[in-house]
């Protein structure tokens, strides 16, 4: 079994020998769910790149102490990949966040598409957003990520077009596209945006809006994917293409 991996609040200046005290739900998870004992190795991160490797020095149901062995800062993934995820129905949004986080998404921006069957408003919207944030946090622990993806507030159709237009490369996943995604030119650095539509698909007007700010439509094959899985598969493809691009650049530099 691999060492425990947990997301906690961390002081900014940690050196070997310092003891970090973990309380609350994460301490319960460490001591009760994972049953960590004194002497076991763990990794802690604040979800913003700062992490420590350490050893459990004390464990109870409400408090776990970890003695720091090493402190470090992990660089964020490049390129920065933002998925603009149309709001799906029921709990498929949390599934989408979970899968995209494990695949390596950097930021997740929910948006209200014309064919979205739900909308985030009032108390219900706040609860839905919190569930997405929690899903990103838990999936980051599973994937052992030192950067937890940021989940933005839900954007309107007009606002999502403006926000997506800030991407260096904007990919529109569309079932009617004829260009396969592996033909997309993905940079090894910069910002890549991915548009994911709702269950009913993007409207022609929405596609035109994203194209007007530089977006291009791509396909991931002959099958039509659920909105809850399309983002994760697109992120995986983009990460692979970026990795291959970086390898090519390294080869050219030698």
For the CA atoms of 46, 51, 57, 62, what is the dihedral angle to 10 degrees? 10
Q: What is the mean pLDDT of the chain?
A: 93
Q: Is the pLDDT of residue 250 over 80?
A: no
Q: Do domains 4-73 and 80-250 have the same CATH topology?
A: no
pLDDT at 248 over 80: no
Q: Please report the pLDDT score of residue 223 as a whole number.
A: 84
User: Which of 198, 208, 185, 190 lies closest to 228 in space, CA to CA?
Assistant: 198
What pLDDT is stored for residue 59 in this prediction? Answer: 92
**In this predicted structure, what is the pLDDT of residue 11?**
85
Residue 166 is given by DSSP the state: T
User: pLDDT, tens digit, for every residue of 17-42?
Assistant: 999 999 999 999 899 988 999 999 99
The lowest-confidence range among 1-15, 25-39, 54-68, 138-152 is 1-15
58 — pLDDT class (breaks 50, 70, 90): very high
Q: Any idea which residue has 């001591």 for tokens?
A: 31
- Give residue 139's pLDDT: 97
Tell me the pLDDT band of 253, cut-offs 50, 70 and 90. low
Question: Which residues fall within 8 angstroms of residue 171, CB to CB, at 6 or more apart?
Answer: 181, 184, 192, 193, 194, 195, 215, 216, 218, 234, 238
119-152: pLDDT as tens digits: 888 898 899 999 999 999 999 999 999 999 999 9
Query: Which class in CATH covers the domain with range 80-250?
Result: alpha beta
Question: Is 0.85 surpassed by the pTM of this model?
Answer: yes
Per the rule left: phi > 0, alpha: psi between -120 and 50, beta: everything else, 99 is alpha
Q: Is 212 exposed, middle or buried (0-12, 13-18, 19+ CB in 10 A)?
A: exposed
Give per-residue pLDDT as tens, 163-221.
999 999 999 999 889 999 999 999 999 999 999 999 989 999 999 999 999 999 999 88
What is the CATH number assigned to the segment(s) 4-73?
A: 2.40.240.20
- Tell me the pLDDT band of 254, cut-offs 50, 70 and 90: low
**Structural domain boundaries in the chain:** 4-73, 80-250
- Report the first-to-last Cα separation within the chain, whole angstroms: 39
The answer, yes or no, to whether residue 75 has pLDDT greater than 90, is yes
The two three-digit tokens of residue 236, written as one number = 């995986």
Residue 106 and residue 76 in contact, taking contact as beta carbons nearer than 8 Å:
yes
Residue 101 pLDDT exceeds 80: yes
Mean pLDDT of 82-106: 94
pLDDT value at residue 46: 96
How far apart (Å, rounded) are the C-alpha atoms in residues 240 and 133?
25
The torsion defined by the Cα of 6, 10, 14 and 16, in degrees rounded to 10, comes to -30
């Amino acid at each position: 079994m691999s060492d425990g991996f947990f997301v906690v609040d961390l002081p900014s200046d940690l050196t070997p020998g310092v003891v970090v005290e973990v309380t609350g739900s994460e301490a319960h998870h460490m001591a009760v769910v994972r049953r960590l004992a004194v002497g076991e190795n763990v990794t802690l991160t604040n979800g913003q790149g700062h992490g420590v490797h350490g050893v459990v020095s004390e464990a109870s149901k409400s408090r776990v102490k970890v003695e720091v062995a090493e402190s470090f800062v992990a660089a964020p993934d490049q390129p920065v990949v933002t998925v603009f995820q149309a709001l799906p129905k029921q709990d498929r949004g949390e599934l989408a966040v979970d899968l995209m986080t494990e695949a390596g998404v950097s930021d997740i921006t929910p948006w209200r598409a014309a064919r979205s069957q739900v909308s985030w408003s009032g108390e219900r919207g706040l609860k839905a957003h919190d569930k997405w944030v929690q899903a990103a946090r838990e999936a980051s622990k599973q994937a052992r990520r030192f950067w937890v993806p940021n989940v933005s507030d839900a954007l309107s159709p007009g606002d999502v077009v403006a926000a997506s237009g800030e991407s260096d490369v904007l990919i529109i996943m569309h079932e009617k596209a004829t260009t396969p995604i592996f033909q997309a030119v993905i940079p090894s650095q910069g910002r890549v945006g991915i548009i994911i539509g709702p269950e009913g698909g993007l409207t022609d007007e929405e596609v035109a809006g994203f194209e007007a700010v530089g977006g291009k439509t791509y396909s991931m094959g002959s099958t039509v994917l659920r909105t809850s899985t399309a983002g994760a598969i697109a992120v995986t493809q983009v990460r692979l293409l970026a990795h291959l691009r970086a390898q090519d650049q390294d080869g050219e530099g030698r």
